[in-house]
Amino acid sequence: MRRTNAVDAADPAICQQIATGMKRALPIVLGYVPIGFAYGVLAGKSGISEANALLMSLIVFAGSAQFIAVGLFASGTGPAAVIVTTFVVNLRHLLMAASLAPHMSAWKKKYLSFFAFELTDETFALHSTRVSILNQCRPEALALNVAAQASWVAGTILGLFAAELIGDVKPLGLDYALAAMFIGLLVGQCDSIIKIVTAILGGGIATVLFLAGFQQFHIIIATVIAATAGLGVEQWIKK
């Protein structure tokens, strides 16, 4: 009887946390629906089946990586290049998860796994604002992530349906969604001269390699070279 009363007493608090998490996710939802729509349209036009396009949003759930995969598949790039490119792009998730992990020590592994699966740049930004209470607000954090992915999946479904009605995506500018997303991510991270120079260096190297014929691995090579150079300069300045 005491156990039942304890659970009943906890339910309102849990429901309140879930509602708070969904409310906090609203800005992300407003952004994910149109971007997910763009992904759905581009995926439908690239030759990927609707089932696989939807599964990518359900299983992969990595906006930039999904846009990259669609673009590479459409250009006839081999599976190895697709896998390596998306892997490098998503390496930043290791750093984001590592920064939050110390504040989630009370979470069970099954909840941590689910949380990590749905972690994105945008949800990470929101979780970082309440990082000190992550141990106490697990339902809120999970609800925020679920709401974000649900909006992305909804946008994908709408885009897949619209792909059949849209003849040419170029006038709509949907093919620019990937570039716009990366520009947004890049600008947010360029908070020092070294990072700005590194970004310009990476873009320059990628362009040169692309013109030289390295059209499959030019981004990976440029990223490694520029990031290594930037890190070396930063370490040299600190010393």
Give tens-digit pLDDT for 155-166.
Answer: 999 999 988 887
Asked if residues 122 and 61 have their Cβ atoms less than 8 Å apart, the reply is no
Domain boundaries in the chain?
A: 2-175, 190-239
CA–CA separation, 207 and 204 (whole Å): 5
Measured CA to CA in angstroms, residue 170 lies from 45, 63, 174, 177 at distances of 11, 20, 7, 11
CA–CA separation, 63 and 184 (whole Å): 13
Nearest to 189 by CA among 131, 124, 100: 124
> Which band of pLDDT confidence, cut at 50, 70 and 90, is reported for residue 89?
confident
Predicted TM-score (pTM) of this structure: 0.71
pLDDT reading at 194 higher than 50: yes
